[in-house]
Structure 1
Amino acid sequence: MNNMKVNHISGASLAITLNENVFYTRGYGVFSDGRTITGSTPFPIASLSKSFTALAVLQLVEQGLVELDAPYASYFPDLLPEDERVRDITIRHLLNQTSGLTDKVEPDMTRSPQYQSLEEMNRSLIAVKLANDPGKAYSYHNPNYQYLALLVEKVSGQSFSVYLKKNVFDPLGMKHTFNVSSTQQIIENPAIPRGHYLWFGYPVSKAEPSWFIDGPAGIVSTAEDMAKWMLAQYHSRLLAPELMEQFHTAGQRGPYGMGWLAEEDEQGGRTISHSGIFWTYKAEETIDLDQQLGVAIMFDSGLNAFVNYSAFVDGIARILKGEKAETSVFNSRSMETVMVVLVIGTVLWGGIAIIRMYRSKKSITAGKLIISSVGRLLPALILLSLPQLAAFIGAGRVLPWIGLWTTMSSLIIWLAVLSLVNITNLVCRYRLFFRTR
């Protein structure tokens, strides 16, 4: 609760499993209309959905209907890609995020309008040119799991949502878990708490932007149901043991395996985890397979540059292991306070600098003016280049401006204020320069 308070998170739902038991499920906070959030309140789990999609594919592998190393295109004979390398993409490549597809060659979040169906999504493979040869490089890309969802539909003869319900949710007793195809269905469901983004640390209610999420991010679940999902990772109720082992194994190009980040520490302890990101919702899940400790938590606020969501899971795990969990100094309250001070300080600094400039009797040389222009235009250039910088930092993920705003609104405001102050200063400098000529 203290971590929620210092990070200004208004609502969350937590599930903890220990050994073969549900240790704890609980909701925190309230809906905007005052309803209490409980362990049975549904939350979008975003990219935590990928492990469910991977499980569905592996179930079909177990039935002999899908081969992991078979080309994806072999299941869609009518697919005639212009880039012949598309024919080399295997089911394993899609699962491991090594298909050669990236956000740059196949827009995901930045695509407008968004796709409306998996079939429409599949047709994008006709014209796409791969960024890498299949299997050569890892690149996290949501559409990889949309193609897998369509594969499940093609092979099973059922819609992806129906397949998940019959073969995953119902057998595990996840009675309040379901799959949607777009964020619009989340917005229209009154049972789901409204999402938020943080503006200078304060939660602002906002509808999740339009996004086609069927396959990689479409599942809505509860803390109580997520506890059942985590317990299912310790046995082979839904999958043969050898395939369960593959399900929890890292990929050939890094820790990303089949819908999980699979890691092993120095002592040989195995952990599977995943995070889920929307602009107004966030989710985290970590399962220690050897200690049989699972923690999943869903939030009604989205990705934010100053909120370390994984610290919630780490802190809970530390407490359960008998260790002390401390609130990080790097939190929304402290960092947003710094941003407020920066904005106010920038305005004051800019005003004082202009007053001193007009009072100064020193002449402005052309050389100093040019050097000053370069330095003072730099914040504006950084602001305009934020999508490219975010893509570089985020390993190639291309973010829309709405995503950048909800993730780092205070930073964008400060950069905008700094840019405006600097440009105003430059205008004054140029006026003084030409006035003295």
Structure 2
Amino acid sequence: MMPRTKQRMLIAITCLLLLWTVLAKSVSALEVRDRTEILGDIDEYMIRSMKANHIGGASVAISHNDEVFYTKGYGTFADGQSITSETPFPIASLSKSITALAVLQLVDKGRIDLDEAYVSYFPELSPRDSRVRDITVRHLLNQTSGLNDRTNPDMTRTPQFHLLIEANRLLNEVELAHEPGTTYSYHNPNYMLLANLVESISGERFSDYLDRHIFKPLGMNHTFSVSTTQQINGNEAIPPGHYSILGRSLSRSEPLWFIDGPAGIVSTAEDMSKWMIAQYSGNLLPPALMNQFHSAGDIAPYGMGWLADQDESGGRTISHSGIFWTYKSEEMVYLDEQMGISVMFNSGLNAFVNYSAFIDGIADIMKGEQPEISFFNDRNMETIMIVLILATLIWGAYGYVRIRRRKKRLRTIRLILIMVGKLIPILILLSLSPLVTFIGGGRVLPWFGLWTTLSSPIIWLVVWSLVNLVHLTSYIASMFNHTKSGQLKADNR
């Protein structure tokens, strides 16, 4: 009996093992098929979205749990070379979270105190505005230092800085816009000062510190930091930047801008995946400091190089966008879901492109939902602008003919009212910079930035202004002719 029983048990175990193997293979095949479908959906979504927004090149990084889930490049260089997951892109203001980590590493070592006055680390400074002495390291990290673009120009500064120490010395002359810690104002020089602090306390050049203490430990071997945009323009490995005008994507070098600290990092999709994984599964900092790193500030969602929030399902998120005039980047890390998405583009800030929608669309696909491409995209809006420009020209020609054929003389009050109405587009053009500054939360943009961001609306406003000037000239000429004709008739009598 025993041998037969053992034989039956052996057969049963063998059958179970075979069944388990078959099931395991089926599950594995299902997982592979699902992953393949997900990646295919992401590719299709990226290609459609880039086409709808006239974006020629992009790079996507997705992390999930402790793995690099997907990285891929889209588009080509001007010479036809393909953009890949290892192609370097400027990440612009995504750099701020990395600068913040460098500061917090030195906090962890007891070399920096978050609530210590910044100037206490630089006794040689003698600020004219006494309130500068109240700015703490935390204020700089949270963008609540009291500095802003109006009182301390950033993109519009001429000449631009060349060294971090120059931003530091400026504190002697600057006048604060607000009391430190009372008002949130996004301001790049806050992070220049932090980079200078890291450089001073560590005794290492800021770019070298990042390489030795952050990039190399995380395996981000193709990531590096630059001081100015000139170092981006001169790097042939980086895809040339672009901006859109009337539906056409034009290549353009990034204007000179000192970006060391707030926006100077260049990275790849592969490396950005590793950076995002480290946010929820790495040992970047002790838990208490890590929690501060990922938390909102006291008076705004902006914390330490991140915007901290909760998504619709209640999970914690940290995010940031990066803006250059010819490059753009977006990053979102879902801390509780252990997922990160980063997208980098070789096209810049554009009023008609919702770059954050790329993150939302990819997140929808990852969650099994259907992404949508909004009607509000560059292709549709540029088409509307072209129609608007043509309509303005046709209306202008029609109006000119009507004015020339006009028989009655305009009254002076009527002419004044017409003149006021005709000056509207010119007034809009002249007030464009302060208007954008108001909408942009106090950011003062250079005229080149206004042009690349709003090129088509500016063209329309210029066309509208010229048409109105022609009309005004015609009205005045017509009025003069009527006056002269009336005078001649009076003389003949």
Please report the TM-score for the alignment, with normalisation by the length of structure 1. 0.99
Q: Aligned-pair distance for 1:267?
A: 4.7
Say if 1:236 and 1:244, in contact at 8 Å, map to a contact too. no
Counterpart amino acid of 2:61?
A
1:289 maps to which of 335, 338, 349: 335
Say if 1:146 and 1:216, in contact at 8 Å, map to a contact too. yes
**Pair 1:361 & 2:413 matched:** no
State how far apart, in whole Å, the 2-side matches of 1:206 and 1:186 are: 12
Ranges in structure 2 where 5+ consecutive residues have no aligned partner: 1-46, 484-493
Q: What is the aligned partner in structure 2 of residue 399 from structure 1?
A: 445
State how far apart, in whole Å, the 2-side matches of 1:88 and 1:264 are: 32
SS at match of 2:97: helix
Counterpart amino acid of 1:107?
P
State how far apart, in whole Å, the 2-side matches of 1:321 and 1:218 are: 33
Q: What is the aligned partner in structure 2 of residue 270 from structure 1?
A: 316
More helix, by proportion: 2
State how far apart, in whole Å, the 1-side matches of 2:66 and 2:324 are: 31
SS at match of 2:71: strand
Say if 1:279 and 1:301, in contact at 8 Å, map to a contact too. yes
Q: Aligned-pair distance for 1:371?
A: 0.7
Counterpart amino acid of 1:201?
G
Say if 1:48 and 1:276, in contact at 8 Å, map to a contact too. yes
* Structure 1 runs (4+) greater than 4 angstroms displaced: none
**Pair 1:316 & 2:362 matched:** yes
Q: Aligned-pair distance for 1:377?
A: 0.3
Deviations 1:139-159 (A, max 9, x none): 000000000000000100001
State how far apart, in whole Å, the 2-side matches of 1:25 and 1:84 are: 49
**Pair 1:8 & 2:50 matched:** no
2:285 maps to which of 239, 263, 272: 239
1:108 maps to which of 137, 140, 154: 154
Q: What is the aligned partner in structure 2 of residue 80 from structure 1?
A: 126
SS at match of 2:250: strand
Say if 1:91 and 1:148, in contact at 8 Å, map to a contact too. yes
**Pair 1:256 & 2:296 matched:** no
State how far apart, in whole Å, the 1-side matches of 2:205 and 2:461 are: 46
Q: Aligned-pair distance for 1:265?
A: 4.0
Percent identity between the two aligned chains: 63
Q: Aligned-pair distance for 1:380?
A: 0.4
State how far apart, in whole Å, the 2-side matches of 1:59 and 1:354 are: 68
Counterpart amino acid of 1:423?
L
SS at match of 2:423: helix
SS at match of 2:60: strand
SS at match of 2:350: coil
SS at match of 1:12: strand
Q: What is the aligned partner in structure 2 of residue 429 from structure 1?
A: 475
Say if 1:262 and 1:272, in contact at 8 Å, map to a contact too. yes
Say if 1:7 and 1:307, in contact at 8 Å, map to a contact too. yes
Q: What is the aligned partner in structure 2 of residue 156 from structure 1?
A: 202
State how far apart, in whole Å, the 1-side matches of 2:344 and 2:113 are: 34
Q: What is the aligned partner in structure 2 of residue 203 from structure 1?
A: 249
Counterpart amino acid of 1:232?
A
Matches within 5 A, 1:5-404: 5-265=51-311, 267-404=313-450
Counterpart amino acid of 2:359?
V
Deviations 1:280-315 (A, max 9, x none): 000000011111111000000000010010010100
SS at match of 2:244: strand
Say if 1:9 and 1:300, in contact at 8 Å, map to a contact too. yes
Larger Rg over CA atoms:
2
Deviations 1:61-91 (A, max 9, x none): 0000000000000000001000000000000
State how far apart, in whole Å, the 1-side matches of 2:61 and 2:455 are: 30
SS at match of 2:214: helix
State how far apart, in whole Å, the 2-side matches of 1:235 and 1:26 are: 22
Instruction: Let me know the Cα RMSD of the aligned residues.
Output: 0.8
SS at match of 1:375: helix
SS at match of 2:253: coil
Say if 2:66 and 2:281, in contact at 8 Å, map to a contact too. no
State how far apart, in whole Å, the 2-side matches of 1:75 and 1:424 are: 62
Say if 2:96 and 2:191, in contact at 8 Å, map to a contact too. yes
SS at match of 1:274: strand
Aligned pair count reads 437
Counterpart amino acid of 2:463?
V
